[in-house]
Amino acid sequence: DLASAKGQAYWIYHSKEAAVCPLALAEKAKLSLEKAGARTELLLYDGGHGWKGPVFRDLRAGFEWLERK
């Protein structure tokens, strides 16, 4: 229920090349949440399904973003 998203913050971490869960779904989630009044941040990473690259740096950035919101 997106009505409960209003005023909440959502940080989405998604791969540009994901085949299991296509990027379009993450982008749709971001737009739907924002339309419902949520604050969102979508951070994209390279490498397909499964967390790749500087995961812990990215997670730290995500938690910091959420704490500010």
DSSP assignment of the chain? -GGGGTT-EEEEEEETT-SSS-HHHHHHHHHHHHHTT-EEEEEEESSSSS--SSHHHHHHHHHHHHHH-
Which pLDDT value is given to residue 18?
87
Residue 52 pLDDT level (bands cut at 50, 70, 90): confident
For range 27-43, the mean pLDDT: 97
* pLDDT average, residue stretch 47-55: 83
pTM over 0.75: yes
Cβ-contact 29, 41 below 8 angstroms: no
Percent of the chain scored above 70 by pLDDT?
Answer: 100
